[in-house]
A and B are shown apart, each in its own frame.
Chain A
Amino acid sequence: MAEDFVIEMQHITKEFPGIKANDDITLQLRRGEVHALLGENGAGKSTLMSVLFGLYQPEKGIIKKDGKEVRIKDPNDANDLGIGMVHQHFKLVECFSVLDNIMLGVEPCKGGFLQKDVARKKVVALSEKYGLRVDPDALVSEISVGMQQRVEILKMLYRDNEILIFDEPTAVLTPQEIEELMEIMRGFKKEGKSILFITHKLNEIMEVADRCTVLRKGKGIGTVNIADTTKEELSRMMVGRDVQFEVEKVPAKPGEVVLDIQDMVVPSKVHKNNAVKGVSFQVRQGEIVCLAGIEGNGQTELIYGLTGLEKITGGKVLFQGKDITHATIRERSKSGMSHIPEDRHKHGLVLDYTLEKNMVLQRYWEPEFQHNGFIRRDAVRRYSDRLIREYDVRSSQGSETIVRGMSGGNQQKAIIAREIDRDPKLLVAVQPTRGLDVGAIENVHKQIVAQRDAGKAVLLVSLELDEVMNLSDRILVMYEGEIVGEFDPRTTTVQELGLYMAGAKKQQGVQ
C-alpha cells in the first residue's frame, strides 16, 4: 500500500430497524485532499459519517487511521484522532455565546474554573488566520446562519482537527456564502488538512473536490477522480440512470385568471417596515409564475399572506373570482389552494405523527375518512398507502413511520404527494426542491410541470436561478417587498435577473 491514506473505512455495515443504511461501504481518504461523498437522500451518507465520528457503532467493518486500526466509540475518540465534523443541523447552544460554544467540551480550565481569556485568544487567532469572521461574544441565537457555520468550523479548528467532515454545508447558505466556504475549504487543503464533503450538489463537487465516492441506497458505487469525470456521469452513478437537468415542457397555454393579488401589504416580523409593500400580480390556469429574489425580500411574507398564515394589512386576494382576503386557512385549502411550504418542519408536517396521519391532515374530516367523528383508519391507511406507492415516498415502516425519522427528501415527497393529490386549482410551491438531490429535484420538477399541463395555476417561489429559468413561464423578481420586474425566461438571462434581484435595476410601471 503505497498510498497515503489518512482515513480508511473498510466494509462498513450499519443497520437500523427495517433498513440497511450502510451495506459494505469502503471509503479511503487521502491526506490533504477534498473528498466528496455523493448520494441521494437516504443513501447513507450521513450514517457513514456518523459512524466515522463515533455517533453510531457499525455492525461490521473496520476504520483505520494512518494505516492503524482504531475503535471510535464516541465523539471524544473521534476528536482524539483529529476528526471533526460540521453537522448538517448545527450543534450549537443558542443561548450561549460564540466563545462558549467553541470551547464547550474542551474548555481551558484551572481547578475546574473556566479560563475564558485563554480560549478567546486562541479563537481570535484562528479566526484571523483563516478569515473566519465571528464575534466571540455574540449569542448564537443572534447571528446569521453563515456565521453559525463559521462557528462550527472554528469548533473543529479549535480542537486542532486534521480531518474535517462537512455534512451538507451549503444547503443553508446564500450563493455568496457558498463561494466563501469553497475558498475556506481550499485554504484548509493548502494547510494539509483532509476534507470529507457530503453533498448532493454536483456543481460544488466539480468546483472544489479532488475525488468523489458515490453511494446509492446504502451501497458504495465507486470512487472517481473529479478531473476524469463529468456531472452527467456522477449523477448517473448516484441515481442509477440518466438524469435530465433541463425540464422538458411544451409552451404554456395560459387560461383564465385563477389568482389575482391586488396591492397586498404584509407587515414584517423582524423590522418595523412592511415586508410586502403593495404587490399586485395574477396567475392564470396552465402557467407557472415564479417569484425570484434573494432570500428575505418579502417572498416568505407574501406567501404567508396568500395562504392565510399571516393577516394582510392592505390589499385584496381574489381566488377564482372570489374575495378570500379574510378567509381562514381551511377555507382556502377547501376552495382548491395547495401549499408546499418553505419550512416543511414548521408548516408542512407534524413530525411526531405517523406518515398516514400527515397524509390526511387537511382531509381527515371528509366523509371519506371519518364516520360520526371517528377516523376511518382503514380508509386512511388505504389512501396513505396509495400516495406512498404513486409518489415513491421511501420510509422504513411505510404508513406507520414516524415522520421525524424520515430523510428530508422523503418528507418533502410526502408533502408534495399530499398537496398535488388533492387536485388543487392553484399550487403554491415555495422552494420545493430545497435540500433535495438531483434525482428528487427532477421528479419534483416533472410533477410541477405536469400540474401546469393539467391546467392548474402554479405559483413557484425559488432562490435557485437554475430552477427559476428552467421551470417558469413568467418570472417576477422581488426586491425589498416590491416586484421590480417581469421577465420571459426565453428572452432573459441569469445575469439580467441578478441585476434586478440585487436592486441595481428596476422596470418602470410593472406595479
Chain B
Amino acid sequence: MLLLIKYTLLYGIVLMLVALGGMFSEHSGVINIALEGIMVIGGLAGVLVVAALPAGTSPAILVALAILVAAAAGMVYALLLAFASIHLKADQTVGGTALNMLATAIAIILAKNFNGSTSAKISYTNKAFLFNIGGLELSVFIPLGLVLLIVSYVVMYKTRFGLRLRACGEHPQAANSVGISVYTMRYCGVLISGLLGGIGGLAYVIPSVQTWNFEVGVAGTGFLALAVMIFGQWKPINIFGAAMFFAVFKSLANIADSTILAQLGWSNNIYNMMPFIASMVILAFTSKNSMAPKAEGIPYDKSSR
C-alpha cells in the first residue's frame, strides 16, 4: 500500500506539474504540444547539473541548483515555441512537434558528449532529492509541486495577470481593445509552461532511478500531461485530480506483481491501459462542455477582423 501511494504521488506530481504548464500556455492561447520536448530538455539539464557537481556539494544547494537549471532550460526551450508561434505566427502544432523531435536528438548528443562515449545513459545519485516520512520515501518535488499548484491557482484566478492571460486565450481581440498586449501575455504563458515543464522533466527522471538513458526521452509523459490537462478541463484543481487519477493506475501496473493483485493474473498492460480507457470514456461524455480556451491555436494577428 505504501508503495502504491509512493508511486502515485511521484508520478502524479510530474503529470500535474507539466499539465499545469500546458494550462498556462493554452490559457494564453498557444497550444503547447512541445511539453514532451521541454520535459526532456529540463530533465537533461537538471541531471547534468547533479552529475557534474562534485560529490561534496551540500544537498540543499545541489537540489536548488538542479531545479533552477531545469526550469531555466525548459524556459529557454519554450522560448523557441513562443518565437515560432507568436512572432512568426507558425502553426503551433507543427512547431511543437518539431521541437519534440529536436529535443530527444539534442539530449542524446549532449548526453553522449558528457559521457565521452556512445552511450546516452547518465548516472547520478538522487539521495539529496529524497526524504522519509514514516517509512514513506518521497521526493522534494512533492511538496514543491503542491506549493506550485496553489500558486498556479492563485495566479490564475486571483491576480490581474491571470485574468489578462485568460482573456488572451479566450478573445485576444477583446484583450487588445482594452490595451492588453496579447503578444506579451502569450510569451509569458509559454515561458511559464517551459518553467513548469522543465521542473516536471527533472521530477520525472530523478527520483525513481539512479541512471537514465536519454534515448527514450521521457517516454510520452509530456503527451500524457496534455491528456491530464484536457481531462482536468484547463483548471488547476481539476488537473491535480486528473493527474492523481492517471497516476494511480500507472502505479498499479508497477506494483501489481508484488501484491494480492497478482492473483488476478492480469497482464501489466491492462493496468497501463486503464487510465486511458477511463479517460476516453469520460471525455466522450464530457467533451461537449469542453472548457478549452476559445482562441487557442490561432496565431493572433492585430489587423484581422
Contacts and interface: CB of A to CB of B under 8 A. Distances in A.
Interface string B73-95: 00000000000000000000000
B160 A94 contact: no
A405 B301 CA distance: 13
A100 B164 CA distance: 10
A55 B175 CA distance: 12
Given A107-B163, A109-B160, A91 B177 contact: yes
A43 B160 CA distance: 39
Contacts of A91: 171, 173-174, 177-178
A104 B175 contact: yes
Interface in B147-180: 158-161, 163-164, 166-167, 170-171, 173-180
A200 B231 CA distance: 48
A189 interface: no
B294 A104 contact: no
Contacts of B167: 93, 96, 104
A405 B305 contact: yes
A92 B167 CA distance: 9
A442 interface: no
DSSP majority for the A interface? loop
A398 B293 CA distance: 35
Nearest to A54: B179
A337 to B, nearest CB: 31
A267 B189 CA distance: 43
A75 interface: yes
Contacts of A89: 305
A394 interface: no
A509 interface: no
A75 B170 contact: no
A463 B176 CA distance: 34
Contacts of A105: 164, 175, 178-180
Contact of A94 (B158, B164, B171, B180): B171
Given A75-B176, A75-B179, A93 B160 contact: no
Given A91-B173, A404-B305, A104 B178 contact: yes
B178 A94 contact: no
Given A75-B177, A75-B179, A112 B159 contact: yes
B158 A113 contact: yes
A143 interface: no
A96 B170 contact: yes
Contacts of B303: 56
B163 A55 contact: no
Contacts of B304: 404
Given A74-B179, A79-B179, A114-B158, A104 B163 contact: yes
Nearest to B161: A112
Contact of A107 (B160, B176, B177, B302): B160
A85 B179 CA distance: 12
24 contacts: A79-B179, A91-B173, A91-B177, A91-B178, A92-B171, A93-B167, A93-B170, A93-B174, A96-B166, A96-B167, A96-B170, A100-B163, A104-B164, A104-B178, A105-B175, A105-B179, A107-B160, A107-B163, A109-B159, A112-B160, A113-B158, A113-B160, A114-B160, A404-B305
Interface of B: 158-161, 163-164, 166-167, 170-171, 173-180, 291, 294, 302-305
